[in-house]
Amino acid sequence: MSARLWIEESTDEKDEQTTALAILLAEVVKYRRDVEKELETITQIDVADIYWDEQFQARAFWTGYVLDLRRKGLLRYVVEHMATRFPPRREDFEYYLKLKVAKRGTAWYEPPDPLDAMFVGPGTSQPMINRSKLRAELRKLSKEGFRTLNITGGSASGKTYSYQLLQVLSRAEGFPMLLVDVAEWGTERFGALELAQRLAGHFKFAISAEVVADVPDPHTRARLLMNELRDNFPPVRNPRWIVIDGLDRANVDPDARGLVEKLLRSVDVNAELGEVKLVVTGFDGLVPPKTRKEPISPITRPDVRQLFAVAAAHLGYPATDAELDSWTAQVWDGSDPAADEFALAGETIYGIARETICSLTGQSA
């Protein structure tokens, strides 16, 4: 059987190819309203009202656009059109028409409950270590009516990986989810305007930079932009999750944190945005009393052992204590849990689970 084409995969997982294609589209379409109209005709998705000035992160818009097209099975038509429309970039676009799904993209691990997943992300290759409390909090948001969650933790604690667990839940329960990833801005400033415009673009309305053009006070800027969001936000009657990831990054401006405070209150206390669930990571500002809080604690050796135990059980293998100890030692003895490089141990964990445990059960990895 031939490998599947990347462009034909229906998924909401952002990978390196998604980001690269988004950058390519942003470069080619910039200031070309005629091309935007062509894309709207092909996809029936509005790409108008994009702010191309330095304050709007076009790449963030196009990343969401590419993901949306992949989910709907429309990405091939856009890429084929762009390859023909822009001959100098034909090879760049045709690359995505030929790109195959990597072997790691195949499913090998499916837990009985999505929130019990011990591996997430592309190819289900990213271990979710020490997340029992996070899973409990997500269940409360999903099943018990809570609306907001703040995930905190130190460097390399895995706050961002929590989004991948949310993706598993999103696919299982069928609710749409918007990710605002501060990392997409790189070292460029991420302020309240950038956040507000990203949210507005997703919900098909626009917020002009003129709203806060002559407003230096960060609290006032946050208030004015919250008013714009509240006044223009469409009715949301079915569950929709918004995830704002990376608020502890150095390029986050004070007015962005101020806007997040107001968003949390708007969603949790006043319920002004309909059936929205809001998850933020790395936020150190004020949160409403009912906001669920999940400080991610440092990873311990028993956490790694427990991951192997649960993963083996999911795969149908009755691992012995000696096997669990051996696998744990392979990971733990070569890593420093207090250092950033411990995150790299995920590759070792993935290899043991997929190659070793699958082979012991007679399954194909």
- Domain hosting 51: range is 6-101
For residues 188 and 90, membership in a common domain is answered with no
Instruction: Please check the confidence at residue 338 and state whether its pLDDT lies above 60.
Output: no
More confident residue, 129 or 138: 138
Instruction: Please check the confidence at residue 182 and state whether its pLDDT lies above 60.
Output: yes
Strands 119-120 and 126-127, how do they pair?
Answer: antiparallel
What number is the average pLDDT over the span 211-225? 94
Give the pLDDT confidence of 68-107 residue by residue, as tens digits: 888 778 889 999 999 999 887 888 888 888 887 654 434 5
Instruction: Please check the confidence at residue 55 and state whether its pLDDT lies above 80.
Output: no
130: alpha, beta or left, given left = phi > 0 and alpha = psi -120 to 50? left
Q: For residue 254, count other CB atoms closer than 10 A to its CB.
A: 15
Strands 148-152 and 177-181, how do they pair?
Answer: unpaired
Give the pLDDT confidence of 257-276 residue by residue, as tens digits: 999 999 999 998 888 888 88
| Residue 261 located in a structural domain | yes
Domain-ending residue, one of 101, 118, 153: 101
Which helix or strand (DSSP H or E) is residue 294 part of? strand 292-295
pTM of the model: 0.67
Contact present, 228 and 196 (Cβ < 8 Å): yes
The whole-angstrom separation of Cα 320 and Cα 309 is 9
Helix (H, G, I), strand (E, B) or coil at 66: helix
Instruction: Pick the range with the lowest mean pLDDT from 19-23, 161-165, 197-201, 307-311.
Output: 161-165
For residues 149 and 281, membership in a common domain is answered with yes
219: alpha, beta or left, given left = phi > 0 and alpha = psi -120 to 50? alpha
End-to-end CA distance of the chain: 16
For residues 270 and 309, membership in a common domain is answered with no
What number is the average pLDDT over the span 330-349? 66
For residues 291 and 340, membership in a common domain is answered with no
For residues 169 and 37, membership in a common domain is answered with no
